[in-house]
Amino acid sequence: MRQMTHSNNKGSALVWALVTIFVLVIFIGTTLTMAFSYYNRSLINNDLKQAYFTARSVVDALKDEIQADTANGQAILAELDTVGDTVNIENINFVGDSTDQGYITATVILEETDTIIITATAYIGERTKTVTLRLHSDGTVSDNPIMEEFPGVTIPDDVVVVTNTYPIKNNETSDIYAEANATVMFNNNADYSGNIFAESGVTISINQGSKFNGTIYAESGTIFTFTKLHNQFLGTIYVRDGSIIKVNGVNYTITENGASVNVSPSGMDSDFKSLLKIYSGSSSGDGSWGGNVYE
Write out the chain's pLDDT in tens, 295 residues: 445 545 556 566 666 666 666 666 666 666 666 655 655 555 566 777 777 888 888 888 888 888 777 888 888 888 888 888 898 887 666 544 445 556 788 898 988 877 888 898 888 777 788 888 888 776 544 457 887 788 778 788 788 899 999 999 888 888 999 999 999 999 888 889 999 999 999 999 988 888 888 899 999 999 998 877 656 788 889 998 888 899 888 888 888 765 444 555 656 666 777 778 888 776 544 445 655 555 5
Residues forming a β-bridge with 186: 168, 206
Distance CA 177, CA 161 (A): 5
Q: Write down the pLDDT at residue 293.
A: 57
Q: What is the DSSP letter of 274?
A: S
Other CB atoms within 10 A of residue 73 CB: 20
Query: Do 234 and 212 touch, CB atoms closer than 8 A?
Result: yes
Q: Write down the pLDDT at residue 28.
A: 65
Residues forming a β-bridge with 212: 192, 233
From the number of C-beta atoms within 10 Å of its C-beta (0-12, 13-18, 19+), residue 252 rates as buried
From the number of C-beta atoms within 10 Å of its C-beta (0-12, 13-18, 19+), residue 36 rates as exposed
Residues forming a β-bridge with 231: none
Q: State which H helix or E strand residue 25 sits in.
A: helix 2-67
Q: State which H helix or E strand residue 113 sits in.
A: none
Q: Write down the pLDDT at residue 248.
A: 86
- Per the rule left: phi > 0, alpha: psi between -120 and 50, beta: everything else, 264 is beta
Distance CA 200, CA 251 (A): 13
Q: Write down the pLDDT at residue 202.
A: 96
Distance CA 113, CA 119 (A): 18
Amino acid at 152: G
Which pTM value belongs to this model? Answer: 0.50
Query: Phi/psi of residue 184, each to 5°?
Result: -110, 115
pLDDT tens digits, 148-181: 788 778 788 788 899 999 999 888 888 999 999 9
3-state secondary structure of 109: strand
